């Protein structure tokens, strides 16, 4: 860990409970309370799983403010403030800082993409204007661009850039990255099936979709690892393999929204272009959730 570590363990990339009228804040508050009661280490608000891409600007800002106020300092709140428009990312970051968020999660620019030089300049400018730590989010399967190890090495010198949510899936690249930035940037797995492998490379946890439905059990992967029980951590990672296949058989957050609705936390409501889960996939997911002991 570095001196500006935001959290160690598991942060839930939290869904946003939506219905036809907008965000259901009663459900949102209950969900935050349940996650904290289950022992989660941090919460990410308005990330990919939170459907940030289809929230209005007002909803995005209000959701972050609500989460900060409702959590009341019980766990760190990490606000998704990335954009492919650098000025808009500046503005969202400023708003989240003023609202009291503990850190920002800033994704690489999507669609317009960038060169590595452009990534360095964009992230540095956002970090310059933030009063809170920045965690970089690398998810090339969604954005079409990858943060290269040499780029991480440059960005690691910025005092406000403290961590990486790495979802590129390329273990060899992650090894090279950690060889360059270890001790300067905290590494978090952005893929639920790679929490343990990335901790073996020096990571300190993950930002998880699975922990929406199983926060304590997902956190156990980290707890066992940190306690030196590597075999036990591996067993916990293996335990969720089939469930994870079902949880990502359609684009995230379609399946996890269906799962959370089945558990009674929200309506199974998404905004286009996302649609509700196919019935055959839903049946398989619910069956696997029951096999894990969930009440659905």
pLDDT in tens, 148-178: 999 999 999 999 999 999 999 999 999 999 9
Compute CA 97 distance to the chain's CA centroid, rounded to the nearest angstrom.
18
Between CA 78 and CA 35 the distance in angstroms is 14
223-237 burial, b for 16+ CB within 10 Å, e for fewer? bbbeeeeeeebbebb
CB-based contacts of 122, cutoff 8 Å, min separation 6: 86, 89, 109, 114
> What confidence score (pLDDT) does residue 4 get?
87
pLDDT in tens, 175-226: 999 999 999 999 999 999 999 999 999 999 999 999 999 999 999 999 999 9
Return the biggest CA–CA distance within the chain.
49
Strands 103-107, 161-166: pairing is: unpaired
Between CA 294 and CA 213 the distance in angstroms is 8
> What confidence score (pLDDT) does residue 3 get?
67
Between CA 164 and CA 147 the distance in angstroms is 10
User: What are the residue numbers of the active site?
Assistant: 137, 165
Dihedral sign for Cα atoms in the order 44, 183, 131, 152 = negative
**Residue 148 · residue 113 · CB < 8 Å:** no
Question: Mean pLDDT over residues 15-28, rounded?
Answer: 97
* pTM for this entry: 0.96
> What confidence score (pLDDT) does residue 105 get?
98
> What confidence score (pLDDT) does residue 296 get?
86
> What confidence score (pLDDT) does residue 61 get?
97
pLDDT in tens, 281-296: 999 999 999 999 998 8
72: region left, alpha or beta (phi > 0 left; psi from -120 to 50 alpha): left
CATH fold of 9-227 reads TIM Barrel (3.20.20)
pLDDT in tens, 222-274: 999 999 999 999 999 999 999 999 999 999 999 999 999 999 999 999 999 99
pLDDT of 1 over the 80 cut: no
């Amino acid at each position: 860990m570095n001196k500006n570590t935001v959290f160690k363990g598991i942060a839930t990339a939290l869904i946003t409970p939506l219905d036809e009228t907008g965000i259901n804040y009663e459900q949102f508050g209950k969900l935050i309370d349940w996650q904290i009661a289950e022992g989660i280490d941090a919460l990410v608000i308005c990330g990919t799983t939170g459907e940030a891409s289809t929230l209005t600007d007002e909803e995005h800002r209000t959701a972050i403010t609500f989460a900060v106020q409702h959590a009341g300092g019980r766990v760190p709140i990490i606000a998704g403030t990335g954009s492919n428009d650098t000025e808009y990312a500046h503005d969202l970051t400023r708003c989240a800082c003023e609202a009291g968020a503990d850190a920002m999660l800033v994704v690489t620019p999507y669609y317009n993409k960038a060169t590595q030089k452009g990534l360095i300049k964009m992230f540095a400018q956002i970090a310059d204007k933030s009063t809170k730590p920045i965690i970089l989010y690398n998810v090339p399967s969604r954005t079409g661009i990858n943060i290269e190890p040499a780029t991480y090495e440059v960005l690691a010198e910025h005092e406000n850039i403290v961590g990486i949510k790495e979802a590129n899936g390329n273990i060899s690249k992650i090894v090279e990255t950690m060889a360059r930035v270890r001790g300067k940037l905290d590494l978090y797995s952005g893929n639920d099936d790679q929490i343990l492998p990335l901790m073996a490379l020096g990571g300190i946890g993950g930002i998880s979709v699975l922990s929406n439905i199983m926060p304590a059990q997902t956190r156990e992967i980290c707890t066992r690892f940190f306690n030196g029980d590597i075999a036990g951590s591996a067993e916990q990672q293996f335990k969720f393999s089939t469930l994870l296949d079902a949880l990502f058989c359609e684009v995230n957050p379609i399946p996890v929204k269906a799962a959370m609705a089945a558990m009674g936390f929200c309506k199974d409501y998404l905004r286009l272009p996302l649609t509700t889960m196919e019935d055959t996939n839903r049946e398989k997911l619910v069956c696997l959730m029951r096999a894990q002991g969930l009440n659905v």
